[in-house]
Structure formats: structure tokens, C-alpha cells
Structure 1
Amino acid sequence: MGAQPTGPADEGEERALELAHRVFEHARQGRTRELCGYLDAGVPVNSSDSEGNTLVMLAAYHGHARTVLALLERGADPDRTNARGQTPLAGAVFKGERDVVAALVAADADPYLGTPNALESARFFGRTDLLDLLEVPEQD
């Protein structure tokens, strides 16, 4: 059997997948300017990958506060959960990304949302330094 011929639809799908990969990689790497170029050209700010991770989730988890802020300014949902029920705020707490946590809290991210939620993550991983940002007093 020979290779299947590819038509315009296959090429278009391949280009779309390549674009999506590029956009998600910009979020993951904190390439704010490049990412915003795609968003400003029409890529949806709440796009998600096959695991439900949004652009803001990837930027938050990888500690890119400037990218998170740019996404939030463009309307990214700070509370959208991924396929595992995790939120960007819980991911930033898990990673100890104080500036990202502050940005998400300023955007009214819900510390009680998700599994585990941001508060549970802070307590479980001993991130009591972040509880003040989550506007919750430390437990004795």
C-alpha cells in the first residue's frame, strides 16, 4: 500500500494543529508578545488543549505572571478547570508562583473551585505563605 494522497482539507487541518501547538507553546514558555499577536488576530483566549488546559492554565502553571496578566486583560477565564478539575489558581499555588497567584486573585479567581482547590493545595503542600494572597487566614 502506498501513502494516502493528501488533499486541501488534510493540509488545512495540519496547519491548524501546527498553529494550535505554537499558541499553546507560547503560553507555556511565557512568550507574551507572540501569544498576544495570535490572540489579537482572533485566536480565542479561552482555547484549551486535549487535556482541557487553557492558555491561562499553562502560563500560570509555568509561572509566567506577565503572560497571565495579558491573557486576563483579554478576557481569559481564571476559573476554567481542566479535564482533571484543576484551576489555574491551584496550579500556581502548587508551583509556589506568588506573582501569578496575586494576578489570578486580583482577577477574582475562586480559591474554593477545583479538585483540589487552591486552598487545599496551599495547605497540603505547606504553602502557608500564599494563604494571605488567597485572603484566608492561616490555620493554627
Structure 2
Amino acid sequence: MSGPCPEPSPEAVELAHQLLDCAREGAAERLLAYVDAGVPVDLTDASGNTLLMLAAYHGHAHLVAALAQRGADVNRLNDRGQSPLAGAVFKAEDDVARVLVETGADPDRGAPSARETARFFERTLPGSST
């Protein structure tokens, strides 16, 4: 029988915020060192955005690839039902979209899906005619 989950310490919360910022900024070396040391690769912010989602949305293809190699879920949706691939397509981050497709991202996952987003903005998904 387990009790209620304890509140994280202020230090742990601050570290999480810093790591989420690293994903946004593309600070791969620092972020990956923490992931390699045991920080969950699918750490999320309060809106359900993973490290990979934040790196993808901000155009850091190298970091997206490294997180995917470490087991990050390339299809995990945030709390609004958005996928990393749809975010990359929305932002016209072609290198990120290519990495996501190569690592197994589903173009039909999420709402709107990456495929729907590509159609709307008249863009092409890597590896497809849409």
C-alpha cells in the first residue's frame, strides 16, 4: 500500500524547469548528460510537452535525434493533443520533421495531425507526397 506522492523539492522543480529550458534552447550536451544520468527522457512540463516536443518545436533536429535514440516517445501527445511532428510541420522545421519521421513518428497522430497540418499549410511531409 502506498501513500500520497510527496511534493517535489523546490530544487527538483527548479532543475526540471532548467532542463525544459535546455530542450527549448537546444543545449544538448547539458540536457543529455542529465538524461544519461537518469532524468526521465519523457519529462514533461505542466502542459504535457516533453523534452522532445520542446526541442522539435524550437528546431533542434540534433537534440530530437539524440532524445529519440535514448527512448523518447516520438508520438507522445501534449495535453492539447498535439504531436511533435505536427509541431515541426507547423513551424516549418523540415530537418526536425525528417528526423521524427525517420525515428517512427506517426503523421496521423494527434489533432490536428501532422498530415492535416501539412495539407493546411501546403507543405510536404518527409517521406510522403502530402
TM more than 0.5: yes
Q: Which has the larger radius of gyration?
A: 1
In structure 2, the residue corresponding to 1:86 is in which secondary structure? Answer: coil
Distance, in Å, in 2 between the alignment partners of 1:105 and 1:25 is: 24
Is 1:38 the equivalent of 2:34? yes
The TM-score with structure 1 as length reference comes to 0.85
Q: Where does residue 128 of structure 2 map in the other structure?
A: 136
Counterpart pick for 2:93 among 83, 93, 97? 97
In the alignment, what sits opposite 1:47? 43
Aligned residue identity for 1:64: H
The equivalences for 1:79-90 within 5 A come to 79-90=75-86
* Residue number in structure 2 paired with 1:59: 55
- The aligned amino acid for 1:69 is A
- Unaligned ranges ≥5, structure 2: 1-5
Q: Percent sequence identity over matched residues? A: 54
**Matching residue's letter, 1:137:** S
What SS is found at the alignment partner of 2:9?
helix
Cα shift at 1:13: 1.2
Please identify runs of 4+ aligned residues in structure 1 that moved more than 3 A: none
Matches for 1:98-137 after TM superposition, within 5 Å: 98-127=94-123, 130-131=124-125, 133=126, 135-137=127-129
d(CA) in 2 for partners of 1:18, 1:100: 28
Unmatched 5+ residue regions in structure 1? 1-8
RMSD: 1.4
How far has the Cα of 1:20 moved from its partner? 0.3
Q: Distance in 1 between matches of 2:129 and 2:17?
A: 40
TM-score when normalising by structure 2: 0.91
Shift of 1:125: 1.5
Distance 2:129 2:26 in 1: 31
Count of matched residue positions in the alignment of Structure 1 and Structure 2 = 125
Deviation at 1:91, TM superposition (A): 0.3
